[in-house]
Chains A and B, each alone.
Chain A
Amino acid sequence: MHSSKREIWLGTLAMTPLSIAVAPWGFLVGAYALEVGLSPLEAQSLSLFVFAGTSQLVALGLMQAQAGFVAIMLTTLLITSRHLLYSMALRDKISPLPARWRYGLGFLLTDELFVHTPSNDGKPLNRWYALGAGLSFYIAWNLATLLGIIAGSSIPNLTELGLEFAVVATFTAMLVPMIRSLAIACCCATASTVAVLSAMLGWQAGLLLAILSGMFAGYLWEQVSEYLQLKRPWGTPSNQEEQA
């Protein structure tokens, strides 16, 4: 019991920088939810039960744009689909654990927790450490949301101070480091263009169409450039290096 407590604290400590960095995000989610028309309880529930920053913000943006239930769910599904990759990567380590651990760690499996959970080091998972990291991040996220709700309900024009831009600012800061290849750049360019064109035409399904076009454009670019590189002998070594 003593060592499990210690591991919880070590996990919490390791997560602290991310728990701090996520505070403006959580604050934004809380204040933005009120702006969109959610009650304080609904706003907090979003962070308590959904616990997924990107999905929460995008869903709020869609609610503000009067999007329908189906559009919100399909978009959530697309945004959250990357978590399938995390659960697959951690399958060998977490699936042998008892059910309550699987459910608990599964619920806490954010991008941030995944970063702190080595998936292929050959050692068994330190469950208490992972719990400490995941749970402390969950608490930080919900406290930040609560602060956003309090600030948003006591300062009426908080959202007119450029809060909508906070979504652009945070998403841009998340997106830029992700663009590591021409294929991803192609994906982003396609998604942006389709999204802007659909918005000009007033299409409801524009966001979904834009996301899918971007994903296929990136995938297609990747396939074509790999095919071309394989056909050229001088392109082969660097290509193999990248794949290794």
Chain B
Amino acid sequence: MIALTLAAMAVVVFASRYLFLEPRLPMELGPKLRRLMGYATPAVLSAVIAPMVLIHQGQLNSDWQNPYLIGAIAAVLIMLLSKNTLLSTVLSMLIFVALKFWLFA
């Protein structure tokens, strides 16, 4: 089942990268659909992050001692201040680990 999923994913990803490079393809995406698709990536990222941060064991966790929440806020702030992906990723992970295994442990 995993092999099938991997193969199908590979096909879907390659098809999306290749589709419009094919010279025999006559059509183009309309401007409306193009604009709608521009929102796909931020929508996907938000929809993945939010439950990981706020839902634990099926329950809403908005406690200020939630290390995921504080870590995510830290990641946003560091990213806004430094505009450095690597720095934000590493620092917010360190903050998360410090909170989870040390301060709130």
Which residues of A are interface residues toward B (Cβ below 8 A)? 21, 24, 38, 42, 45-46, 49-52, 54-55, 58-59, 61, 63, 69, 72-73, 75-88, 90-91, 94-96, 102-103, 105-107, 109, 161-162, 164-179, 183-184, 187-196, 198-200, 202, 206-207, 210-216, 218-219, 222
Given contacts A45-B6, A172-B88, A202-B58, contact A167 B42 (CB under 8 A): no
Who on chain A is nearest to B75 by CB?
A: A172
Compute how far the CA of A229 lies from the CA of B19 in the bound complex, rounded to whole angstroms: 36
Determine which of A21, A109, A210 lies in contact with B17 in the assembled complex, contact meaning CB atoms within 8 Å.
Answer: A109
Counted as pairs of residues, one from A and one from B, with CB atoms less than 8 Å apart, the total is: 258
> Which chain B positions have C-beta within 8 A of A69?
1, 4-5, 8
> Which chain B positions have C-beta within 8 A of A76?
9, 12-13
Complex contact A77–B43 (CB within 8 A): no
Given contacts A168-B68, A214-B47, A218-B43, contact A81 B5 (CB under 8 A): no
Complex contact A103–B18 (CB within 8 A): yes
Chain B's nearest CB lies how many Å from the CB of A147? 16
Who on chain B is nearest to A37 by CB?
A: B2
Compute how far the CA of A66 lies from the CA of B44 in the bound complex, rounded to whole angstroms: 18
The CB with the most chain A CB atoms within 10 A, among B9, B28, B83, B93, is that of B9
Q: Which of B58-91 contact A (CB under 8 A)?
A: 58-60, 67-68, 71-72, 75-76, 79-80, 83, 85-86, 88-90
Chain B's nearest CB lies how many Å from the CB of A136? 18
Complex contact B47–A195 (CB within 8 A): yes
Chain A's nearest CB lies how many Å from the CB of B20? 4
Given contacts A102-B22, A188-B45, A191-B50, 13 further A-B contacts (CB under 8 A): A54-B41, A63-B2, A63-B5, A73-B8, A81-B16, A84-B19, A162-B93, A165-B97, A168-B71, A168-B72, A200-B60, A215-B36, A218-B42
